[in-house]
Amino acid sequence: MTRKIVVTGGAGYIGSHVCLELVQSGRDVLIIDDFSNAHPEAVNRIGALAGRKVDFLRADLADHGQRQAVADKIKEFGADGAVHLAGLKAVGESVAQPARYYRVNIGSALTLVDAMEAAGAKSIVFSSSATVYGDLNQNPVTETGRTGATNPYGRTKLYIEEILKDVAAADGSWGVVNLRYFNPVGAHHSGRIGEDPNDIPNNLFPFIAQVAVGRRDELSVFGNDYPTRDGTGVRDYIHVVDLAKGHVAALDYLEKGNRGATAVNLGAGRGYSVLEAVAAFKRASNRDIPYEIAPRRDGDVAEIYADPTRAKELLGWSTEKTIDDMCADHWRWQSQNPNGYAGD
Ligand code: WQD
C-alpha cells in the first residue's frame, strides 16, 4: 500500500529535496506551500525529476481562514503521515519580529496537528534545528544535551518540539520524530533544484555560491577571533540529500509502528570552519571567493557539531556525502541557475 505523505513547505529548499526522496522511496506526496519562501517552478522540477506529478495545495497554514481548506485537502488526499517544514526561518528577522515568528511558526504547527488528527493520520516528522542547543553543550552534541535557544526563531523550534511531545503524551496513537538539523547545504546532483533565498542570503553557503557566480562582490566572514582552529565559526555541514534521506528513515521508523515522540540529530558528526568551507567551494567551483573579515554576528556560537549515534541506532541513518560533494552539487545548482528559479 502506497504511503501518502503531506509535506508542508515542500516547495522550499529542504522540502523539494525531501519530496523527491519520498517519491523515489515509493510514497505519494501532497505539497502544502504558500510560496512565501519558495517558487512554483520548484514543484514542476520535483515532478520532472520524480517522473510523476506531485499533488499540491497553495495555502498558508498560519492563516486561520485557510484551516478548513487544509484539513479538507489532507483528508481527501488520504494522508498517512506528514513532514512539517513550513515556517519562517531567518534568525535575525525573528529577533526584530518575534510575535510574527511565534504566530506563524507555532500557528502552522497547530493547524497541521489538527488536520492530521481529523484525518486519523497521527504521524509527524518535524523540521527542528540544532539551534535549540544554543551554546550550552560540549561538542559533539547529543540529543540529551541541554536546550535553550538564543533567539525567537530557535525558540519556536523548541516550543513546537514540546507541543508535539505533549500531543504524543496525551494520545499514545501519535508518533513524532523531531529532527534536529545541523547545517544543510548542497543540492540534488542534477542541478535542477536547490537553495534560492528570497533576498540577501543569511546563511554561509548560499552567500558563498552567489559570490562565486558573480551575484555578490565578496563574503563577510563574521569574526575570525573565535576559539576554533582558524578563528572562524565551525559548523556541522550536511548534504541536503543526506538530510532528505533522514526524513525517509524517520517515516520508515514511524510506519513500523513506533509511537511516542523522540528527537534525533541529523548531522555528520564533524565540523568545518568558515575558511575551510570557502576553500572547499573554491576547489569545487574553480572560482575565486573574495572575503573580508567582519565583526562577529550576534547570536552566533563558536563551534557546534553533532553526535550522530542516535540517528544510526534508531533510524539506521548516517551521512554519506563529503564537503566536496556538498560544494560541487551546490555549485552545479548555482551555476546552472544563476538567478535561482526566477531564471534569466
Ligand atoms: C554558518 C557560519 C556564521 C554567513 C542558522 C540557524 C539554523 C539554520 C541554519 C535555518 C557561522 C558564518 C554566515 C555569512 C559568515 N536555520 N557566516 N558569513 O548560523 O550555523 O545556522 O542557519 O535554516 O537553525 O541557526 O548557519 O550559515 O548562517 O552560519 O561568516 O555571510 O558561517 O558566523 O559561523 P548557522 P549560517
pLDDT in tens, 14-54: 999 999 999 999 999 999 999 999 999 999 999 999 998 89
Q: Is residue 192 part of a domain?
A: no
Work out the mean pLDDT of the chain and round it to a whole number.
96
Measuring from each residue's beta carbon to the nearest atom of ligand 1, which residues come in under 6 Å? Answer: 89, 91, 129, 131, 183, 202-204, 207, 219-222, 233, 235, 274, 297, 300
Q: Global pTM?
A: 0.97
Q: What would the pLDDT profile of 127-165 be if each residue is shown by its tens digit?
A: 999 999 999 999 999 999 999 998 999 999 999 999 999
Q: Is residue 258 part of a domain?
A: yes
Shortest-distance Cα residue to atom 6 of ligand 1: 131
Shortest-distance Cα residue to atom 1 of ligand 1: 204
Q: What is the pLDDT of residue 199?
A: 86
Q: Is residue 342 part of a domain?
A: no
Instruction: State the pLDDT confidence band at 2, using cuts at 50, 70 and 90.
Output: low
Catalytic-labelled residue, pool 153, 181, 272, 305: 153
Q: What would the pLDDT profile of 254-266 be if each residue is shown by its tens digit?
A: 999 999 999 999 9
Distance CA 78, CA 58 (A): 18
Share of residues in the chain with pLDDT > 90 (%): 95
Beta strands in 59-122 (DSSP E): 81-84
* pLDDT over 70 at 344, yes or no: no
Q: What is the pLDDT of residue 1?
A: 61
Q: What is the pLDDT of residue 198?
A: 85
Instruction: State the pLDDT confidence band at 82, using cuts at 50, 70 and 90.
Output: very high
How is residue 62 written as a grid cell?
498560519
Q: What is the pLDDT of residue 63?
A: 97
Q: What is the pLDDT of residue 20?
A: 98
Q: Is residue 328 part of a domain?
A: no
Mutate-to-test residue for ligand 1 from 13, 37, 141, 203, highest number of ligand atoms within 8 A of CB: 203
Q: What is the pLDDT of residue 263?
A: 98
CATH code of 50's domain = 3.40.50.720
Distance CA 17, CA 252 (A): 17
**Contact assessment for residue 94 and residue 151, using Cβ atoms and an 8 Å cutoff:** yes
Q: Is residue 156 part of a domain?
A: yes
- Average pLDDT value for residue range 291-308: 96
Three-state DSSP state, 199: coil
Shortest-distance Cα residue to atom 9 of ligand 1: 183
Q: How many domains does the chain have?
A: 1
Q: Is residue 211 part of a domain?
A: no
Q: Is residue 87 part of a domain?
A: yes
Alpha-carbon distances, residue 115 vs 50, 58, 79, 290 (angstroms): 27, 16, 10, 48
Domain residues for 75? 4-185+237-267+307-314
- What is the longest distance spanned by two Cα atoms in the chain? 55
Shortest-distance Cα residue to atom 22 of ligand 1: 203
| Ligand 1 mean position, distance from CA 130 (Å) | 11
Atom of ligand 1 nearest to the CA of 185: 27
- Average pLDDT value for residue range 268-294: 98
Instruction: State the pLDDT confidence band at 278, using cuts at 50, 70 and 90.
Output: very high
Among 157, 76, 77, 74, which residue's Cα sits nearest to residue 113?
74
Distance CA 175, CA 194 (A): 30
Q: Is 153 a catalytic residue?
A: yes
Q: Is residue 231 part of a domain?
A: no
